[in-house]
Chain A
Amino acid sequence: MSELLELRDLSVTYRTRAGDMPAVRGVTMSVASGQSVGIAGESGCGKSTLASTVLRLQPKNARVDGTVLVNGQDVQTMRWGHLRALRWAQAAMVFQGALHSLNPVQRVGDQIAEPIRLHDPSVGKTEAASRVGELLEEVGLPAARARSYPHQFSGGQKQRIMIAMALACRPQLIVADEPTTALDVMVQAQVLGVLTDLVRDLGLGLLLISHDLSVLGTTCDRVLVMYAGRVVEEGPGSGLFDRPLHPYGGALAAAFPRVGDPVARFAPIGLPGDPPDPRSLPSGCAFHPRCALATAECTTMDPPLEPHAGDRKVACLHADDDRDMKLLLGQRVAAAGEAAR
């Protein structure tokens, strides 16, 4: 398998008036063609910052350390003209706010054709139009809809148009940052279906960013869980969601309970406290102030990401291959509920 995207020890720090703010702290990961990789985490955990570095779209006040390789080329140091050619043609991005990023007074077909003709001026009008038709059909819309205006589409359809636009120059890698956040479950299922089909049929690489671990668990081959700028758990999608080994992974998985799971009934599981301020991270393991398993050791030692059985990696001193964190948290909450009664 060839690696489409490789991040090696990536760190991103925002320089602000109030001091340096580390957003991503040493992340190493890769995406191969035909593979979908998900990154889960809460707002402020650095997942969107990480995604923005793939196409060098990070804000100006961000300092990037480490390497970002797309098809083996270093994105962060390449020349501007080279980067422009790489955007769209080799890697493309689908954003969360897609519903508002279409030009309301231009036909969607023309908007999809724009990157095609910008990247290859030799493509004629009719050729571009037929490409647009193919692209629309790839995302499950009739080719004839190219002549419609954005307001004639629903939210889910607009998100599909954004995906079609990202596919316009035949990139091998798609980075999708919360592509389904504003959408209903049924429409979310439609859009996720389109993305998984593309990965399977066209052999694309997909980097999917979401706060919803359940979405990633069912969509992605591999999932990384980020907390305070760092990967705390990594593993195969469904395996990680079903049996998280890190307490934070457990909390994220439990936040979207399995309907029918008796443990979750009348026992919603949450974490006490709030995500840490990146400017003043807790000592040791950044998660320890909110962790039910934290010991004195956790306050001083920040555990590295270590391999575990079943092709998994966990950064936790208390990780045990035989212990399901989601279940453990559920039992604790249930026990507390019993005690309160």
Chain B
Amino acid sequence: MSGDLLSARDLEVTFGGRNGRPDAKGVDGVDLDVASGEILALVGESGCGKTTLARTLLGLERPSTGTVTYDGSGLGYGAGALRAYRRRVQLILQDPTGALNPRHSVYESVAEGIRIHKLVERKRAGGLRVTETDLVSDALSHAGMRPPERFYLNYPHELSGGQRQRVVIAGALALEPDVLIADEPVSSLDASIRGEILALLLSLRERLGLSVLVVTHDLGLAWNIADRIAVMYLGRIVEVGTTEEVLAAPKHPYTRALLSVVPEIDQIEPIVLEGETPDPTRVPSGCRFHPRCPALARGEAAAAGVDGDCRTRRLPVLPATGDHRAACWLPGRLGAS
């Protein structure tokens, strides 16, 4: 597994229940790998724990059990270790309007990380002759803001939504990271801008060899840019595989349902699940999806003789690497093993 840059093993994140309510498990046992130069989409509905997982990978949340490793070594939570880690793994937030300080110009927003990490001094110590302006200019050009110096003095409110997101991306790129974690990077942008930002993420991978973890609820987005997909439901990854495998031949009934309600796909009879993602304070027994599972409701599970397992037997955590697998008791879903 030499190619794996960022990995999570047995990750659990628990939020203390307030006002006497029980603890909620935002992330409930996850193994995940992001390989070098890979674009991985983490897909799920709101409340499934995908944002919590992303924040934990960034070191913004501390896991209650399990580990996050980066390039083979475990993530430390001391101030110095985290700061060093920030240079390697960066975040792109959903709403670029909120993510930029309205009182900072484009130049200052992009230069912020450079100043925090004293990158200019470091590079000069390494014998490179650079100025802060060079680094800011490079980052903005990489993010597609050309010519960069035209935007230095602009404030966020003078830019369009797409340009703001490019500034946020430039601010992350200025640190020359290896991994970008993008939380719904286009969901607050206009439809015609979406493609441009997604194309930018793809080209960053091509040109700079970046790995990208895209957190999204949008399967079309995953199809657009992702190499692999991990589908999350109620704190667990329930299906993982290459994008073609997962979206063309989904194994988990939940993935099938999700796919069937994507409006673009009218060939499939939509399977509309009742209700919303259930409460993470009360995870159902057995398979966590069984109360909403169409395969169980239609008797598919009973026909295969696994309906008892569905209701009572806990499923193993899906391994992070290897073949296309789904956390489901139906025959052939859990993979070869």
Contacts and interface: CB of A to CB of B under 8 A. Distances in A.
Interface in A257-280: 257-261, 264-272, 274-275
B208 interface: no
B336 interface: no
Most buried by B among A189, A252, A259: A259
A179 interface: no
B44 to A, nearest CB: 9
Interface in B250-272: 257-259, 261-266, 270, 272
Interface stretch (B62-70, B168-176, B186-194): B186-194
Interface in B16-44: none
Contact of A211 (B191, B196, B219): B191
A259 B264 contact: yes
Contact of A268 (B202, B259, B261, B264): B202
A272 B225 CA distance: 18
Contacts of A267: 199, 224
B276 A154 contact: yes
Contacts of B247: 259-260
A213 interface: yes
A185 B272 CA distance: 10
Nearest to B163: A274
A155 B195 CA distance: 28
B264 A270 contact: no
B1 interface: no
A229 interface: no
Contact of B194 (A193, A217, A266, A268): A268
Contacts of A300: none
Contacts of A266: 202, 224-225
Interface in B122-165: 160-163
Contacts of B198: 268, 270
A251 B193 CA distance: 10
B297 interface: no
Contacts of B261: 185-186, 188-189
B276 A215 contact: no
Contact of B224 (A185, A238, A248, A264): A264
Contacts of A257: 220, 223-224, 264
A184 interface: yes
A190 B272 contact: yes
Most buried by A among B196, B206, B263: B263
A270 B262 contact: no
B197 interface: yes
B259 A259 contact: yes
Nearest to B45: A184
B79 interface: no
Interface residues of B, number: 44
A256 interface: yes
Interface string A230-265: 000000001001000000100110111111110011
B225 A214 contact: no
Contacts of B219: 185, 259
B272 A189 contact: yes
B281 to A, nearest CB: 15
Contacts of B265: 258-260
Given A186-B257, A186-B273, A265-B223, A256 B196 contact: no
Contacts of B276: 154-156, 184, 186-187
Nearest to A184: B45
A221 interface: no
Interface residues of A, number: 49
A329 B258 CA distance: 27
B304 interface: no
B190 A275 contact: yes
Contact of A238 (B46, B206, B258, B266): B266
Contacts of B45: 184-187
Contacts of B263: 212, 214-215, 217-219, 256
A271 B192 contact: yes
Most buried by A among B160, B198, B224: B224
Contacts of B220: 214, 256-259, 264
B217 interface: yes
A340 interface: yes
A42 interface: yes
A274 B262 contact: no
Contact of A271 (B193, B218, B258): B193
A287 B31 CA distance: 47
B223 A255 contact: no
A215 B261 CA distance: 10
B272 A211 contact: no
Interface string A59-97: 000000000000000000000000000000000000000
B191 A186 contact: no
A103 interface: no
B223 A259 contact: yes
Given A215-B263, A260-B247, A268 B225 contact: yes
Contacts of B202: 266, 268
Contacts of B194: 255, 268, 270
A42 B190 contact: yes
Interface string B228-259: 00000000000000000001100000000111
A312 B162 CA distance: 31
Interface of A: 42-43, 154-156, 184-190, 193, 211-215, 217-219, 238, 241, 248, 251-252, 254-261, 264-272, 274-275, 290, 333, 340-341
Given A185-B258, A212-B191, A290-B192, 20 more contacts: A154-B275, A156-B276, A184-B217, A184-B276, A186-B273, A189-B272, A190-B272, A214-B220, A218-B264, A218-B266, A219-B263, A248-B192, A252-B192, A255-B192, A256-B263, A257-B264, A266-B202, A274-B160, A275-B192, A333-B199
5 contacts: A185-B217, A185-B262, A217-B263, A218-B264, A268-B194
Interface of B: 45-46, 160-163, 190-199, 202-203, 206, 217-220, 223-225, 247-248, 257-259, 261-266, 270, 272-277
